[in-house]
Amino acid sequence: MDSPSPTPPPQPGSSRTHRIQLYTTADYACSYLPAQQARSLVVAPGQVVDSAAYSQLVQQGFRRSGHFTYRPACLNCQACQSIRLPVAEFAPNRSQRRNWRNHQPHLRADILPPDFDEAHYALYQRYQQARHPGGSMAEDGAEQYSDFLLDSPVDTFLVAFYDQRLPQAQALRMVSIIDQLSDGLSAVYTFYDPEPPQAGYGTYGVLWQIALAQRLQLPYVYLGYWIGQSPKMRYKQDFRPHEILQNGQWQRPATDTKAAAQG
């Protein structure tokens, strides 16, 4: 099956938005690959990016952090590759099926507006300290947390997952922030209880988003950037089939194409 070509951003005269202005940042230290310098193509400050425009930008490899919308534009590195899942064709592997069986019966998912909640923020802090100690977000205060995850110019919702076997005060296990696009869901960020480390909450969060997109009859779940050299990013390639944005076209990796032909 041919992959759809990305849609260009709205042009002048569009009823949805005005022309989107972009600029390139100066070099800065890459947060994913040690000793690498990075730069980004970003939407100019003050530009209004509504849900319709953002949907088209995501199709072209952009992401957002709060109101900051960006795409990698490194001169000598193309390690960051946008990845999305065509959910109608998703085929969970054995480990993913086991994960779903283990969590689905007792994890309750509450869909909420992206409002600040002390319990969510406390979980975020525990997650950062355990999973990313020493990282720039490990010391985020409540304002930085809200700016990063809750302040959104587009259609965004929050999903809080509770273990129904525990008292309510101890039951929060995971929080996902998700943008709804015209053609799918975009996984903005997920944080979860780091204990026990083998629980696989992150995997379940992706599986839950796939199931939601299927129910909503949306074709894709966008997982952000996949970086093969980054151990913390490699899990994304385990969701198959998937598509990678290369040279402006969404394409199936050769391994996925071969597996589909054999299947």
Residue 137 has pLDDT above 90, yes or no: no
Report the pLDDT value the prediction gives residue 171, as an integer from 0 to 100: 97
Report the pLDDT value the prediction gives residue 234, as an integer from 0 to 100: 84
Angle, alpha carbons 62-221-42 (nearest 5°): 10
Residue 80 has pLDDT above 90, yes or no: yes
DSSP designation for 9 = P
Name the pairing type of β-strands 184-192 and 220-226.
parallel
Angle between helices 94-103 and 201-215 (to 10 degrees): 90
Q: Answer yes or no: are the C-beta atoms of 193 and 130 closer than 8 Å.
A: no
Residue 107 has pLDDT above 60, yes or no: yes
Residues 139-156 have pLDDT tens digits of 789 999 999 999 999 999
Enumerate the CATH 3.40.630.30 domain ranges in the chain, comma separated. 83-262
Percent of the chain with pLDDT over 90: 76
Report the pLDDT value the prediction gives residue 19, as an integer from 0 to 100: 80
Band of pLDDT at residue 91, cut at 50, 70 and 90: very high
Report the pLDDT value the prediction gives residue 179, as an integer from 0 to 100: 98
Report the pLDDT value the prediction gives residue 47, as an integer from 0 to 100: 86
One of 1.10.3720.10, 3.90.1150.10, 3.90.930.12, 3.40.630.30 is the CATH number of 83-262, namely 3.40.630.30
Q: What tokens were used for 139? A: 């010391």
| Mean pLDDT (whole number) for 76-81 | 92
**CA torsion, points 194, 226, 117, 123, in degrees to nearest 10?**
10
Q: What tokens were used for 195? A: 């204990």
| Mean pLDDT (whole number) for 187-205 | 95
pTM: 0.89
Residue 247 has pLDDT above 80, yes or no: yes
Sign of CA dihedral 102, 108, 109, 115: negative
Name the pairing type of β-strands 22-24 and 40-43.
antiparallel
Q: What is the mean pLDDT of the chain?
A: 89
Q: What tokens were used for 185? A: 């869901």
Report the pLDDT value the prediction gives residue 256, as an integer from 0 to 100: 62
- A 10 A CB-CB count for 127 gives 20
